[in-house]
Amino acid sequence: MEFTKGHGTGNDFVILPDPDGALELTPELVAAICDRRRGLGADGVLRVVCAAKHSDGAALAGEAEWFMDYWNSDGSFAEMCGNGARVFVRYLLETGLATPTADPLPVATRAGLVHARLDGEAIAVEMRRPRRYAASAAALGGLTLPGTAVDVGNPHLVCPVPAGLDLAGLDLTRAPGFDQTLFPSGVNVEFTAPAEPIDGIDGHVLMRVYERGSAETLSCGTGACAVAAVALDDAAREVGTVAVDVPGGRLTVTITDDSCWLSGPALLIATGTLTLP
Ligand SMILES: N[C@@H](CCC[C@H](N)C(=O)O)C(=O)O
C-alpha cells in the first residue's frame, strides 16, 4: 500500500491513506511498520480515514471530513498527537484532500475536534486548553522528580529537572516510573529546564520527553502544550506564548482563555509503497 513519511520537529510518522477505512490495522502491524530496523521506522502511524467511515470519528463527521487515526509505535492508541495532527494536515493540504482556506481546517481526533491553519511555513493546530489536575512524581535512575499532571486530551506529567542536574544527561533509554493509580492508562513524561528569555515571548523552556507507547522521541506536541501551561502557571499567567525547545527543534505554544495553539514545522519527506507483512 502507498505510504508517506513525515515529521514535525523530528517526531516522525508513517501516514497511511485509507479514506474508506478498509485497512485492517492491528497493533502488530503498526509495531512492524514503526520498527526502525525491519520496518519503515516511526514514532507512530497516522491513518487518514473519512470521519464518517471510522467508528471513533463518525460522531464528528458533520464537522470534519477527515479523522486522524493515530497509533503509537508499540501499536497502542492515543487520544491525541499534536505533532501528528500538524503533519496530518500538511498531508491533507499537499495531496489536495483539503484546500487551504481563510477558515481553520477541522480534523476529527479521539480527543475531539481540532482546527489547523497555516502559520507561515509552519502548521498550527488549535487544541483544548491544557488542564493541570494533580501533583505527582516520576522516578528516574534512583531519583524522584516531583511533577504536575496535565490533561491535553492525552495524559502528561511535567517534571522540572532540579538545578544541578543536566537535562541533556538524563538517561531516557528506560521508561520513567510513575503513579499507576493516577495514570492507569500510562502517561507521557516531560522533563524540563528553564532557557534564556526571548524578547516578545512570555516563556522559554527546554524539554525532553519519554512518550507512552513510543519511548523517547525528539519532540511531543501535546507535551510541549503541557509544559507551556505549567510554565505560564508558574509565572502566574493565565495566557501567553511559550517557546519550547525539544531535541528536534522549536515548538511555539500559545495558550488563550479557551484553547491552545501549537505551531512548528511539519514536513513530508518521502512517499513509497509498503509491502505489508
Ligand atoms: N507525539 C505526540 C503524542 C503521541 C501520543 C502519546 N505518545 C500518547 O500515548 O499519549 C504529540 O506530538 O503530541
CATH number at residue 205: 3.10.310.10
Mind spelling out the 3-state secondary structure of 67-112?
Answer: EEEEEECCCCECCCCHHHHHHHHHHHHHCCCCCCCCCCEEEEECCE
Active-site choice (34, 159, 220, 225)? 220
Instruction: Say what the pLDDT of residue 69 is.
Output: 98
Instruction: Say what the pLDDT of residue 250 is.
Output: 98
Instruction: Say what the pLDDT of residue 101 is.
Output: 86
Q: Do 113 and 27 belong to one domain? A: yes
Q: Do 92 and 138 belong to one domain? A: no
212 has binding-site annotation: yes
| pLDDT in 10s for each residue of the chain, 277 residues | 999 999 999 999 999 999 999 999 999 999 999 999 999 999 999 999 999 999 999 999 999 999 999 999 999 999 999 999 999 999 999 999 999 888 999 999 999 999 999 999 999 999 999 999 999 999 999 999 999 999 999 999 999 999 999 999 999 999 999 999 999 999 999 999 999 999 999 999 999 999 999 999 999 999 999 999 999 999 999 999 999 999 999 999 999 999 999 999 999 999 999 987 6
Cα of 62 to ligand 1 centre, how many Å? 26
222 in contact with ligand 1, CB cutoff 6 A: yes
Of all atoms in ligand 1, which is nearest to the CA of residue 43? 1
Q: Do 7 and 80 belong to one domain? A: yes
Q: Do 83 and 187 belong to one domain? A: no
Q: Do 111 and 181 belong to one domain? A: no
Q: Enter the pTM of the model.
A: 0.97
- Flag whether the ipTM exceeds 0.95: yes
Instruction: Say what the pLDDT of residue 277 is.
Output: 66
Q: Do 114 and 180 belong to one domain? A: no
Q: Do 141 and 78 belong to one domain? A: no
Angle (CA) 156 17 116, round 5°: 50
Q: Do 168 and 232 belong to one domain? A: yes
Report the number of distinct structural domains present in the chain.
2
Range of the domain at 216: 131-257
User: Which residues, 6 or more positions from 28, have their beta carbon under 8 angstroms from its beta carbon?
Assistant: 75
**C-alpha cell of 33?**
511498520
E-assigned strand segments in 120-187: 122-128, 131-140, 143-151, 155-160
Instruction: Say what the pLDDT of residue 102 is.
Output: 87
Q: Is 225 a catalytic residue?
A: no
Q: Which residue's C-alpha comes closest to atom 2 of ligand 1? A: 81
Q: Do 79 and 196 belong to one domain? A: no
Q: Do 73 and 90 belong to one domain? A: yes
Q: Do 136 and 72 belong to one domain? A: no
Cα of 201 to ligand 1 centre, how many Å? 25
